[in-house]
């Protein structure tokens, strides 16, 4: 979740424990000759990929399912044992409001996202609340990876204004759970691209973003271009893997300097420094991360240049990005 | 089949085609009919537009609709394909380089270098994000737009991807605004898209109790 400062109550650790959330394992299926076929996954593949418990590699044990030919159904079932705690004094909604649960999905690599409502409840609910829903994706829709979140949201606000409670219908009040699905293996990398630009220098940075707070930190929006047409290109040899090449290290340090200075001139720079309002994966988040986690010093150009190099040179050859 | 071209290969291919001024090109086997259809259609709308003093937007819109329908039919092209830039580089530089060239000359951003401006990619997503169920209905809501609207829509992808249902609803609402309505010429579309980016950080449009439609109406009403 973003670290934006909110003026209304949201789900927190304490409330999450009180409501008693439980989930059954997610199950997958698809249509085959008009019938629903359960998808059994290759266990070894999960293990070999070193995936965490929230990530599922979709590899059919019987090698029948193919994203190009078959749809994909993802079935979720979970329980909220004490839903009443969501309302009133220590809850996230007033006693006369309605809250809902929804599955919100996104796939950056498929350039798409969506949301489906699962259930709406109010204070009068008795006993445990069962949430069950199937997300259906048609064949040839998804590419790369998919993330699905179970979110709690405000369906209908109180009829009277209640400070400290969210007041807009559709406001997301918390993420209860999430799962990642891998359909096509790994993607995404540091935004270095190789270009063929006869008149241009060995390297240069290009900016194509519209909004630093939402546009992703990828080559579509910010790119460090290495020019294959340049006579010195062989010195950097264009191999992104060779991060310990000193010339390449220097290029990247300089390019990152340019990027930080540029973004710090945007209207949103103060929000970035405060860690407010940017979306996950955005340029704003990346810059926030560089500055806070890697201790880049933006107080002056010379300090910035030195701190980027200190940090970057200490990491190349090591873990890298 | 639509192949893929890496960014590096695309840069090389572009350099090679530029050197030859995009002349004496050769094309992949089996693409003749598809190419012929696109090229003939492109020529016919060009002459119609020249006669009626039409705009480049009109050309882009007509060609976009035709291309969208054709490539989806002939190549079973889908969102999965359309999200892979390698495929768009292939379409630009291998399948239809002459058509891109005739619209943009040797402008590398339109061929491969700027991912949201690759010509056919921006047309395809523009149509897809505006789709109203049929070609006629889609044309109807898009006919009064401008090339700036294409940019405003296609480039506002956000960090997690397009909310396709939401964008189709926004395009429907915008397309049905009176052309004479003051807001339209005052850049209301750009404003609405910006407001949506801000609101979308806290509110999930599909979860609004008025539905996506209700959410969209509020966006437009804000500027009334």
Instruction: Enumerate the domain spans of chain A.
Output: 13-182, 192-315
The closest of A256, A260, A247 to A192, measured between CA atoms, is A256
Amino acid A316: pLDDT:
61
User: Does residue B53 sit within a domain?
Assistant: yes
A320 vs B81: CA distance, rounded Å: 31
| DSSP annotation of B205 | G
Residues B223, B162 share a domain: yes
CATH number of A13-182: 2.70.50
Q: A151 touching B, CB under 8 A?
A: yes
Taking the CA of residue A308 and the nearest CA in chain B, the distance in Å comes to 25
| Percentages of chain B per state (helix, strand, coil), in multiples of 5 | 70, 0, 30
Residues B32, B80 share a domain: yes
Taking the CA of residue A248 and the nearest CA in chain B, the distance in Å comes to 18
From edge to edge, which strands make up the β-sheet containing A222-227? Answer: A192-195, A222-227, A203-207
Count of structural domains, chain B? 2
Residue A304 tokens read as 């910035």
Indicate the residue of A114, A169, A220 with minimum beta-carbon distance to B208: A169
Residues B206, B126 share a domain: no
Amino acid A320: pLDDT:
40
Amino acid B185: pLDDT:
60
Amino acid A227: pLDDT:
84
Residues B11, B82 share a domain: yes
CA torsion A109-A112-A118-A124 (nearest 10°) is 100
Identify the residue with better confidence: B53 or A185: B53
Residues B106, B7 share a domain: yes
Give the helix/strand (H/E) hosting A37: strand A35-38
Q: In sequence order, which ranges of B164-205 are alpha helices (DSSP H)?
A: 164-175, 182-185, 188-199
User: Does residue B37 sit within a domain?
Assistant: yes
Q: Which of residues 61-90 of A touch B (CB under 8 A)?
A: 67-68
Q: Which of residues 276-295 of A touch B (CB under 8 A)?
A: 277, 279-282
The closest of B193, B198, B196 to B215, measured between CA atoms, is B196
Residues B11, B92 share a domain: yes
Amino acid B191: pLDDT:
92
Residue A31 tokens read as 């249509």
Residue B18 tokens read as 């530029």
Residues B190, B105 share a domain: no
Amino acid B179: pLDDT:
66
User: Does residue B143 sit within a domain?
Assistant: no
Amino acid B123: pLDDT:
98
CB contact under 8 A, A140 and B76: yes
- Condensed to tens digits (0 to 9), the pLDDT of residues B106-160 reads 999 999 988 889 999 999 999 999 999 999 999 999 999 999 999 999 999 888 9
Q: Taking CB atoms and an 8 Å cutoff, what residues of chain A touch B7? A: 193-195
Domain that holds residue B88: 1-132
Residues B202, B108 share a domain: no
Residues B18, B89 share a domain: yes
Residues B7, B118 share a domain: yes
What interface predicted TM-score (ipTM) does this complex get? Answer: 0.92
Query: Beta-carbon neighbour count of residue A110 at 10 Å?
Result: 24
Amino acid B4: pLDDT:
85
User: Does residue B33 sit within a domain?
Assistant: yes
Which residues of chain A register pLDDT less than 70? Answer: 1-6, 44-51, 185-190, 237-244, 315-321
Give the residue on A whose Cα is nearest the Cα of B14.
A196
Amino acid A47: pLDDT:
54
Residues B96, B55 share a domain: yes
Amino acid A194: pLDDT:
75
Mean of the per-residue pLDDT values of chain B = 92
- Condensed to tens digits (0 to 9), the pLDDT of residues A159-169 reads 888 889 999 99
Residues B115, B21 share a domain: yes
Q: B202 touching A, CB under 8 A?
A: yes
Amino acid B30: pLDDT:
85
Amino acid B186: pLDDT:
66
User: Does residue B144 sit within a domain?
Assistant: no
User: Does residue B148 sit within a domain?
Assistant: no
């Amino acid at each position: 979740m973003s670290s934006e400062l909110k003026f209304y109550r949201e789900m927190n650790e304490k409330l999450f424990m009180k409501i008693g959330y439980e989930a059954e394992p997610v199950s997958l299926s698809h249509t085959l000759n008009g019938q629903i076929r359960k998808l059994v996954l290759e266990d070894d593949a999960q293990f070999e990929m070193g995936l965490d418990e929230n990530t599922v590699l979709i590899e059919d044990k019987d090698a029948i399912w193919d994203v190009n030919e078959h749809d994909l159904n993802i079935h979720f079932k979970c329980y909220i044992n004490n839903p009443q705690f969501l309302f009133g004094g220590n809850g996230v909604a007033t006693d006369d409001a309605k809250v809902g649960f929804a599955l919100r999905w996104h796939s950056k690599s498929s350039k798409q996202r969506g949301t489906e409502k699962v259930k709406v409840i109010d204070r009068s609910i008795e006993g445990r609340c069962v949430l069950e829903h199937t997300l259906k994706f048609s064949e040839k829709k998804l590419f790369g990876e998919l993330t699905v979140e179970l979110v709690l949201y405000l369906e209908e606000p109180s009829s009277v204004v209640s400070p400290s409670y969210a007041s807009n219908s559709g406001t997301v009040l918390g993420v209860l759970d999430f799962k990642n699905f891998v359909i096509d293996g790994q993607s995404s990398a540091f935004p270095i691209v190789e270009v063929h630009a006869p008149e241009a220098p060995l390297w240069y940075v290009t900016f194509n973003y519209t909004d630093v707070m939402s546009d992703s930190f990828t080559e579509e929006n910010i790119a460090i271009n290495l020019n294959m047409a340049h006579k010195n290109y062989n010195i950097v040899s264009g191999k992104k893997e060779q991060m310990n090449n000193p010339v390449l290290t220097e290029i990247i340090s300089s390019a990152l300097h340019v990027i930080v200075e540029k973004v710090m001139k945007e209207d949103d720079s103060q929000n970035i420094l405060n860690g407010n309002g940017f979306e996950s994966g955005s340029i704003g988040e990346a810059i926030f991360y560089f500055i806070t986690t890697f201790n880049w010093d933006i107080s002056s150009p010379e300090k910035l240049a030195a701190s980027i190099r200190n940090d970057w040179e200490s990491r190349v050859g090591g873990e890298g990005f | 089949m639509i192949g893929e071209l890496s960014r590096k290969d695309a840069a090389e291919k572009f350099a090679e085609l530029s050197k030859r001024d995009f002349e004496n090109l050769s094309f992949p086997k089996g693409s003749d009919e598809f190419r012929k259809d696109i090229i003939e259609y492109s020529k016919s709308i060009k002459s119609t537009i020249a006669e009626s003093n039409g705009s480049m937007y009109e050309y882009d819109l007509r060609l976009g609709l035709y291309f969208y329908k054709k490539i989806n039919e002939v190549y079973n092209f889908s969102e999965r394909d359309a999200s892979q830039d390698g495929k768009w580089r292939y379409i630009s530089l291998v399948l239809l380089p002459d058509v891109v060239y005739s619209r943009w000359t040797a402008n590398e951003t339109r061929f491969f270098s700027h991912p949201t401006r690759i010509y056919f990619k921006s047309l395809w997503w523009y149509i897809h994000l505006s789709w109203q169920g049929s070609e006629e209905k889609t044309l109807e809501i898009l006919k009064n737009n401008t090339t700036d609207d294409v940019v405003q829509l296609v480039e506002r992808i956000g960090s997690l991807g397009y909310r396709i249902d939401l964008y189709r609803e926004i395009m429907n609402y915008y397309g049905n605004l009176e052309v004479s309505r003051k807001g339209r010429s005052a850049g209301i579309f750009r404003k609405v898209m910006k407001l949506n980016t801000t609101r979308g950080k806290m509110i999930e449009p599909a979860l609004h109790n008025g539905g996506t439609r209700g959410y969209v109406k509020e966006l437009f009403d804000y500027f009334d």
